[in-house]
Chain A
Amino acid sequence: MVDFTKIQDSIPYILSGIPILFQVVLVAAACGMIIGIVIAALKITKSRLLRFIGHAYTAIFRGTPLILQLAIIHFGLPQITGYVTSGYESAIIAFSLNSGAYISEIIRAGIQAVDKGQWEAADALGIPYMKQLRSIILPQAFKNILPAIMNEMITLTKESALVSTVGVLDVMRRAQVVGGEKALYFEPLLFAGLVYFVLVMVLTLIGQRVEKAMRKSG
């Protein structure tokens, strides 16, 4: 039988995993953004080597499971570096690197979706490359990029549950702890699911608003 009153007193405990969830998502999104911009820049340069590096980076991080990347960073790397990272640190590193790969693809696609006539017009006016990118191309690419970045935030929010595998007490992990203590798994897990669902819905709504605003600025 399902009986949520049995976990009533544990609900605040589970909810207090939300701040750590936000921390992981926000820090990883910010770092992922920086990495994404750098990798996207590599992908659109004229240098073959730099382009290769950019594409190889993306291929590796998109081509392997995130939980494996997290495990390698948390359990594997200390064996080589001799430096043990906390679960939180490992999670931030793994999520940032992984998110950077996806964001770089979003930015690259956004830039390349801008009409090539825009580059040519800027070229013809003698505008230097970096100024073209900053003032002419990126403001137009932004419209394609921002809604996709919102999607990436949603993905990150859900994937953040993987930090439970390296001992970070997030919503997911706390639900498991409650389950273990009370020998009662269905209710706490379902409640955790509700927490993620609500967060994702809120982000989705924000995303829709953003998309609408972008379209309006036509």
Chain B
Amino acid sequence: MTNNLTNEKMIEVEDLYKQFGKLEVLKGISTTIKRGEVVAVIGPSGSGKSTFLRCINMLEQPTKGKIVVDGFELTKPKANIAKARQHIGMVFQQFNLFPHKSVIDNLTYAPINVLGLSKEAAVERAEKLLDRVGLTEKRDSFPNQLSGGQKQRVAIARALAMEPNVMLFDEPTSALDPEMVNEVLDVMKHLAETGMTMVIVTHEMGFAKEVADRVLFLDEGILMEEGRPADLFDNPQTERAQKFLEKVL
């Protein structure tokens, strides 16, 4: 719980549908996420939770429905998606660092080339972020010289270097060796404490319970249940949520 909740809407998802060919992955999802809220998205694999997340910044084009982030409607025809994405940070399961760029260049490339920051300003910002994720000494390393946990911390710092209003996490610890999961979760926990709006697709139920303000349970493309972690984890209302939680808790 982060107590950073406001009443201001940050993300509005309205009647979201997504189809891949004939496969219907999302079947009408609606929810509103407030500024400063930390939302964990859980559910069995294939439930559509990653697709849901990827629709928020339009990495997947929704088949139908409306997405509004910080007052900007991304689903509007001819919306400037690239512009909107500058304010929506994303962290991937597979890190997706740029392998041909050093850590510092990974962090400064987009601020310089997209936001138009001077090199000095971008480097200063990047160095502060590296300090925040505890990787100052890796400043000039290349991604292939880092452990998985370090890569993911750099990826978080890279997203933060754009000073986004929202951070999306797509199973950020699923590709990590178990001993590296905590270092990444710690960084995310600190981030949550700063009041960042976060949407996290995760299998880490303990983390969701501890850090999330709200948990969304998705199953078969439907938002089956949502609520405060204490309520949803200890007292799930739907049979599907009960069954799922029995398996993972």
Contacts and interface: CB of A to CB of B under 8 A. Distances in A.
Interface stretch (B24-32, B95-103, B130-138, B205-213): B95-103
Interface in A108-128: 115, 117-118, 120-121, 123-128
A139 B113 contact: no
Contacts of A117: 92, 94, 96
B92 A118 contact: no
A1 B207 CA distance: 86
B88 interface: yes
A139 B100 contact: yes
Interface in A195-218: 217-218
Contacts of B110: 125-127
Contacts, number: 59
A124 B164 CA distance: 11
Interface string A127-157: 1100100011001100000000000000000
Interface stretch (B34-42, B79-87, B176-184): B79-87
Contact of A125 (B85, B99, B100, B144): B85
Interface string B211-242: 00000000000000000000000000000000
B114 A126 contact: yes
Contacts of B90: 121, 124
Majority secondary structure of chain A interface residues (helix, strand, loop or mixed): helix
Contact of B86 (A121, A126, A139, A218): A126
A165 B98 CA distance: 49
Contacts of B82: 123, 126-128
B162 interface: yes
B141 to A, nearest CB: 13
B101 to A, nearest CB: 8
A124 B57 contact: yes
Contact of B109 (A118, A135, A140): A135
A136 B143 CA distance: 14
B98 A126 contact: no
Nearest to A140: B100
B85 A126 contact: yes
B219 to A, nearest CB: 25
A140 B99 contact: yes
B59 interface: yes
Given A125-B162, A126-B114, 8 more contacts: A121-B92, A124-B85, A125-B109, A125-B159, A126-B84, A126-B86, A127-B110, A218-B99
Contacts of B98: 118, 121, 136
Nearest to A117: B96
Interface in B90-123: 90, 92, 94, 96-100, 109-110, 113-114
Contacts of A120: 59, 92, 96
Interface in B166-206: none
B59 to A, nearest CB: 6
B207 to A, nearest CB: 22
A127 B101 CA distance: 15
Nearest to B144: A218
